[in-house]
């Protein structure tokens, strides 16, 4: 793990004022734990490829112990009042507001997104704590009409138990706050495995939860490397102590986790992949349609499950739309997310770059035209790919069926409403739809 001197140097380099936010150990039962044999993994800046810090790779036996600790904590935490739990979340919300610029910088450094995007994510993230802090005291049951005059039927809600939370790298703060906030408000305890690429944002929330007075064992954080991630995911699904698993990530991994959860009949909440259509009709406001398409398709360089993946443009407006979106995309600025004026950062890893390259090649080989970009932006860094607009994309191109997760804007022409509805619905992914 990184030394105190390395952490201080990191904070100084990037202008992070609250150095205590930077943690590199797992948080288990209220303590930052150093295993007897402390293996670590590197956290890298995707914009430069530089190693930032080294974080402890939580051993599987400590993961198992954290689940047991969470169960012990649950036995008492479930008896607390909603007002008490809401108070904890309200304090945590206030601490995130107090530290939001530092949290935004951490997000940009390890994730790569532009700093304005990170600031937006932090605000979005702590809004969940504010919401659930107010909802926690409102967990009410029902009085149901009975068919028997001598009986009354009452229902009440109670927490399910320990919740296993698996979060993605593309929203390293907001996906934790959304899931964890609901769990805490309901009276559950949580064990969280953050994405290997972005553990620092998660661990910062853990530190603030300590400062907010969260009881030991209520909120546990378990950073692990990619190799150990599979074992931890399997453990979450197969453990009899964990009663619910919440996961955001790929559809393939979601299927795997669902299968592993079958033996324990676990409750599951999954948010998986998308292949969202964005439909523009001839009578749309051209400027608004283009601006909306860019905001949706190229958000975080295309790396969200609700990004528009397929842009269907009606033939009467197609040429004007293609020209305007190409002009506007050409004015966007790629670079390190902390640089002034940068709107789009790198992709998260080499696999993401290769996927974008392969989808562009496939589409061009089948007749698509490169209107802008089309190549890796190696002058900016190894994980940058040019923002790319493809015109006349054929319907048999892979981009029509596979999620891209990158800065590729494919324009597909259509004639009638009936035709485009059929095209839009021709997918196994149903995460998001949009039209103008």
| pLDDT at position 429 | 62
Cβ-contact 201, 221 below 8 angstroms: no
Q: Which two tokens stand for residue 107?
A: 């997000």
3-state SS of 290-318? HHHHHHHHCHHHHCCCCCEEEEEEEHHHH
CATH topology for the 4-271 domain? Aldehyde Dehydrogenase; Chain A, domain 1 (3.40.605)
| pLDDT at position 306 | 79
Task: Tell me if domain 4-271 and domain 276-435 are identical in fold.
Answer: no
Distance, in Å, from the CA atom of 2 to the CA atom of 21, rounded to the nearest integer, reads 14
Cα–Cα distances (Å) from 318 to 194, 313, 325, 342, 345, in that order, read: 42, 5, 11, 29, 28
Report residues of the chain scoring pLDDT below 50.
Answer: 436
Class (C level, CATH) for 276-435: alpha beta
Distance, in Å, from the CA atom of 59 to the CA atom of 61, rounded to the nearest integer, reads 5
Closest CA to 300 of 404, 223, 209, 226: 404
| pLDDT at position 274 | 82
| Extents of the domains making up the chain | 4-271, 276-435
| pLDDT at position 135 | 97
| pLDDT at position 434 | 54
Catalytic residue among 271, 315, 350, 403: 271
| pLDDT at position 286 | 96
Q: How far is CA 363 from the centre of its chain?
A: 28
The verdict on whether 271 is a catalytic residue reads yes
- Give just the sign of the alpha carbon dihedral 30, 34, 35, 38: positive
| pLDDT at position 32 | 98
Cα–Cα distances (Å) from 333 to 31, 264, 387, in that order, read: 42, 49, 9
| pLDDT at position 38 | 87
């Amino acid at each position: 793990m990184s030394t105190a001197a390395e952490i201080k140097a990191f904070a100084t380099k990037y202008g992070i004022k609250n150095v205590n936010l930077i943690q590199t150990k797992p948080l288990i039962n209220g303590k930052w734990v150093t295993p007897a044999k402390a293996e670590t993994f590197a956290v890298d800046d995707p914009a430069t490829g530089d190693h930032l810090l080294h974080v402890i790779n939580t051993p599987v036996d400590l993961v198992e112990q954290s689940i047991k600790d969470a169960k012990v904590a649950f036995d008492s935490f479930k008896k607390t009042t909603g007002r008490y739990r809401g108070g904890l979340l309200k304090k945590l919300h206030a601490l995130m507001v107090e530290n939001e610029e530092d949290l935004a910088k951490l997000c940009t450094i390890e994730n790569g997104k532009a700093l304005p995007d990170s600031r937006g994510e932090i605000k979005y993230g702590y809004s969940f704590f504010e919401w659930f802090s107010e909802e926690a005291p409102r967990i009410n049951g029902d009085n149901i009409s009975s068919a028997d005059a001598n009986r009354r039927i009452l229902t009440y809600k109670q927490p399910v138990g320990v919740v296993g939370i698996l979060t993605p790298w593309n929203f390293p703060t907001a996906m934790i706050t959304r899931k964890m906030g609901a769990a805490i408000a309901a009276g559950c305890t949580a064990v969280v495995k953050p994405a290997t690429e972005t553990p620092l944002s998660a661990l910062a929330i853990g530190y603030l939860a300590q400062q907010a007075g969260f009881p030991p064992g209520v909120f546990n954080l378990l950073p692990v490397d990619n190799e150990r991630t599979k074992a931890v995911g399997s453990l979450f699904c197969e453990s009899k102590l964990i009663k619910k698993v919440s996961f955001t990530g790929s559809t393939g991994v979601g299927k795997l986790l669902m299968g592993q959860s079958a033996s324990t009949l676990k409750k599951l909440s999954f948010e998986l992949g998308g292949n969202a259509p964005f439909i523009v009709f001839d009578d749309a406001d051209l400027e608004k349609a283009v601006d909306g398409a860019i905001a949706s398709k190229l958000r975080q360089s295309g790396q969200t499950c609700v990004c528009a993946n397929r842009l269907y443009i009606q033939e009467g407006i197609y040429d004007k739309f293609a020209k305007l979106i190409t002009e506007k995309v050409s004015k966007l600025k790629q670079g390190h997310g902390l640089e002034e004026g940068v709107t789009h950062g790198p992709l998260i890893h080499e696999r993401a770059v290769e996927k974008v390259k392969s989808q562009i090649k496939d589409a061009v080989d089948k007749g698509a035209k490169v209107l802008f970009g089309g190549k890796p932006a190696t002058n900016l860094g190894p994980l940058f790919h040019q923002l790319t607009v493809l015109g006349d994309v054929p319907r048999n191109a892979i981009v029509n069926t596979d999620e891209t997760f990158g800065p590729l804007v494919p324009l597909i022409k259509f004639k009638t409403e009936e035709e485009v509805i059929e095209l839009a619905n021709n997918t196994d992914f149903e995460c998001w739809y949009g039209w103008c």
